[in-house]
Amino acid sequence: METPKIPAPRDEGEKRILAELMSIRDQLQLRKLDRTTYVRTQDVMVLYEKTIEQVRQLNVLRTGKKSEENQVDRVVDSCFQLLSLFFMTIGRNNEAPAAYSLTSTIKRLLDHLDEANLFSAKDLASIEHTLERLDTIVNNTKTKEPAPFLEAHLASRIDRCRETLCALKQRLKEYDEAIIPSHEKLVSILRQMAAINTKPKFKPEDINKLRAQLKDIQSQTVDGQFVNAEGKPLAGNDPVVALLERCQKYSDVILDMGGRFPEQWKVIYDTLTGIRNELDKLSLTQAWSLRETDLYDYQRQLDKIDENRVDGNWVDAKGRPADLYVQRTLLYLIRRSYGYIYHLMISSEPVSEALLPIYNQLQTLKRCLIEVQNNGGVSTVRELYPYSMKLNSIDNLRVDGKFLVSGDIPEGQGSVSELLSQCYDLNYELRVAAEEQAENEKSETKDDNE
């Protein structure tokens, strides 16, 4: 984190602040590693307020002075990255500090989309929605947050993200609607090929299937051009044709490499595939196994590898740049990993990890009840007993309407109570439907007897 590129502070006041911030960061790191107890809101808030105070002092110290980025700025960033993930862990997702880490990831994603020139409207729509939500959170926090500089900093980060997003959206606006399906298909194919290329076992037949799809798209062109009814090239023809050629050439290279990877780049490749695979597993088991602070280490590893590039590429021990195949493969792995981190962050529930076991049980119970309802309900009320018993057992955990954990009242009480209420409503609807069905059957039987 404190590389030679980032100088140490010269000012004595900044040196003192650096020492305090490093102590706070160490405490956050230790708390992150402790899995024996749940993260408590009060523990996080104490460290958050200490960080805010040090940043306030730093701003006062730098007022009217010209300052360059030094180690203090890097440690401030580390503290806020960790605190942001801790806010998610304790369920305070809808407060400004929680937005800090997410804006960092969004900026990385947007920069990579810009650099690769490989994106679709669907990619941008999700990010735009998230930025709007973060903007609302930051604006709503202004009346409560005692750290105006953090609000201003977050607002600035969101604005920078939005500028890049608008530039990317503008590129897509230049495409004719008729060519967009082909463009989106090519983006998907290129990403699928990159994924196949980085699997543990390489299967040429998977690439050949995608090459067949490329031929189908190629067949839609006239003399290599995407044209309209009058035979004139559609708006966006040139970049889409270039993307088609890029896909074709990439498939040739992948088949030629046959799953092999140059030895001098194997260490970084193995590191990135390891990160990608771990994040993939987390995305499948997120509700039960993810503590948001776990994402910090993945972020830092990816940031370090990404920032080691020279003019957009990596160089080996002898100063030789990676060839295009290596560069694109490594960049795909980095982008995919940032994508997983983004997905895990936006999927984080506004519920403290202390309440997550109860929340997850209710989520599962709700899905089961909806499934029963969608498949015709139950034939007798007796079939609902297991669901009713589970609901009552969870409801009985409340003390004065609150779910307590080790004497604390964790964040997310409203979300858990609302979910419990939804389960009760579904259970009640199924019971009423079963009773009505039983009454109807009873009446029909009575009529038949008469």
| pLDDT tens sequence across 14-67 | 999 999 999 999 999 999 999 888 999 999 999 999 999 999 999 888 888 777
Start-to-end CA distance of the chain, whole Å, equals: 87
**Helix/strand/coil for 405:** strand
For residue 307, pLDDT over 80 is answered with yes
Is-contact 19 72, C-beta < 8 A? no
CA distance 202 to 349: 36
Domain that holds residue 404: 356-449
What per-residue confidence (pLDDT) applies to 443? Answer: 74
- Residues 99-119 have pLDDT tens digits of 999 999 999 999 999 999 899
Confidence of residue 2 (pLDDT cuts 50, 70, 90): very low
Categorize the per-residue pLDDT at 144 as very low, low, confident or very high, splitting at 50, 70 and 90. low
Indicate the residue among 242, 257, 272 that finishes a domain.
257
Whether this model's pTM surpasses 0.95: no
- What pLDDT, on a 0 to 100 scale, did the predictor assign at position 449? 59
| Domain end position, chosen among 241, 257, 273 | 257
Residue 287 included in any domain: no
Please state, rounded to an integer, the average pLDDT across all residues of the chain: 91
Q: How many domains does the chain have?
A: 2
> Per-residue pLDDT averaged across 370-383, rounded?
92
3-state DSSP assignment of residue 22: helix
Q: How many Cα atoms within 13 Å fall on the side-chain side of residue 218?
A: 12
Residue 448 has what pLDDT? 59
> Which residue's structure tokens are 């506004």?
350
Which is it for the CA torsion 45, 51, 55, 60, positive or negative?
A: positive
Which domain-ending residue is among 257, 279, 307? 257
Rounded Cα–Cα distance for residues 216 and 327 (Å): 28
pLDDT of residue 139: 85
List of residues 6+ apart from 362 with CB closer than 8 A: 394, 416, 419, 420, 423
Task: Express each pLDDT in 389-432 by its tens digit.
Answer: 999 999 999 999 999 988 889 999 999 999 999 999 999 999 99
Within a domain: 323: no
Is 37 inside a domain boundary? no
- Domain for residue 408, yes or no? yes
What is the DSSP-derived secondary structure letter of residue 322?
Answer: P
